[in-house]
Amino acid sequence: MSEKTFTYADIESHKTRDDLWMVVHGKVYDVTKFVDEHPGGEEVLVDCGGEDATDAFEDIGHSDEARKVLDDLLVGDLDASEKRKSTKAAPTAGSEISSEPASAPSFVTILSIVLALVAAYIAYTKYM
């Protein structure tokens, strides 16, 4: 079975009481025929029409029964590019370039300074 994919632009055109789609967990559902039966009332569904209703759906703590109803209403998948948009920007490669703090001077640096001081001291005692 080939599943259709939809963008939000597609879904947004179905947000009326008589033609109502919504997205739950990245899937697209046509809830038009369920509006009358929804135990939570039609208004909340129409409010989420054409949008991602995942949070609203989960906040209510819908039962397994409600999830089974969803299966019957499925019309397709949310387009992969939309999924990427809705999740937080993925860290891009290179965003974690190791930025070591200007750390303590290395052993070589300290040795160079000590040697320079010793040389300066020797030069000072020799020529003064």
Binding-site member from 15, 30, 56, 76 for ligand HEM (CB under 6 A): 56
Neighbour count for residue 103 (Cβ, 10 Å): 6
- What is the DSSP code (8-state) at residue 59? H
Characterize 4-31 residue by residue with b for buried, 16 or more Cβ atoms within 10 angstroms of its Cβ, and e for exposed: eebebebbeebbeeeebbbbbeebbbbb
Amino acid, single-letter form, for residue 15: K
| Residue 65 touches ligand HEM, criterion: CB under 6 A | yes
For ligand HEM, which stretch binds (CB under 6 A), given 2-10, 24-32, 80-88, 118-126?
Answer: 24-32
For ligand HEM, which stretch binds (CB under 6 A), given 38-46, 77-85, 92-100, 119-127?
Answer: 38-46
| Residue 69 touches ligand HEM, criterion: CB under 6 A | yes
Q: Whose structure tokens read 């949070």?
A: 55
Give contact residues for ligand HEM (rule: CB under 6 A). 24, 29, 31, 34, 38-40, 44-45, 48, 53, 56-57, 60, 62-63, 65-66, 69-70, 73
